[in-house]
Amino acid sequence: MSDKDQEKRERILKTAVHLFGKEGYHGTRMSLVASAARVSPKTLYRFFPAKKELFIAARGYATNKLVTDMLSRLPEKQLSDALAVGKNLLKSYSGFIRKNRGLARILAEAVAIVDPDIQRDQREGFAVTVEGLGAVLNADMRKGRLHLSGDPKELARLFLSFASLVAYAVLLDLDRPGVGGFNPDYALDLFFSAMRESS
């Protein structure tokens, strides 16, 4: 792919993330994406032949930005164990998603949309993340740096479920003062205190 095509593709993805986050999957028309990204409909369809393919790519693009931001916020000094790393990552996730509220809608819709290709992409992404996080937790448990009674994969699923809770709370504006009173940072502290006590 040429540099010019790469630049167009990235512009389309940034635009799609913004529009899917604002209008939702069903409210975002391909013609609107093409117009807002300043490309012709023909160019848009050359890169993404269907809206679901654009949505899957936009979700992946946004998720990569999220992960890059989270990893950049890890302290340079190594944290004591996987739970400390997990807490730090979830705090970064919470902060990022609260500043990029449209991403909460994209993540929620990726779970809710009944299209089989979108569902498959979502399941595969979840499974890969569970495997990776489970392996990190398991390694710390084997080294004796982390003492937990649960299965590492189940703990990884629990972490991801908590991340989903934060995304849905942001989507519903429950974290805004005077709305629902949900404080993600306080909830994170309680969550990790409970995890520590189970070790």
Q: What confidence tens digit (pLDDT) does each residue in 11-48 have?
A: 999 999 999 999 999 999 999 999 999 999 999 999 99
Instruction: Give the mean pLDDT of 66-81.
Output: 70
Who's near 135: CB < 8 A, 6+ residues apart?
152
> How far apart (Å, rounded) are the C-alpha atoms in residues 16 and 25?
10
Q: Is residue 3 part of a domain?
A: no
Q: Is the pLDDT of residue 6 over 90?
A: yes
List helix spans (H) across the chain: 3-27, 30-36, 41-47, 51-72, 82-99, 101-112, 116-142, 152-171, 184-197
Q: Is residue 37 part of a domain?
A: no
Instruction: Give the mean pLDDT of 147-159.
Output: 79
The parent domain of residue 105 ranges over 55-197
Instruction: Give the mean pLDDT of 68-74.
Output: 73
Q: Is residue 35 part of a domain?
A: no
> For residue 74, what pLDDT is reported?
66
Q: Is the pLDDT of residue 169 over 80?
A: yes
> For residue 20, what pLDDT is reported?
94
Q: Is residue 113 part of a domain?
A: yes
Q: Is residue 25 part of a domain?
A: no
Instruction: Give the mean pLDDT of 103-117.
Output: 85
Domain count, the chain: 1
Task: State the CATH number of the domain containing residue 156.
Answer: 1.10.357.10
The alpha carbon of residue 57 and the mean position of all alpha carbons in its chain are separated, in whole angstroms, by 13
Task: Report pTM.
Answer: 0.78
pLDDT band of residue 159 (cuts 50, 70, 90) is confident
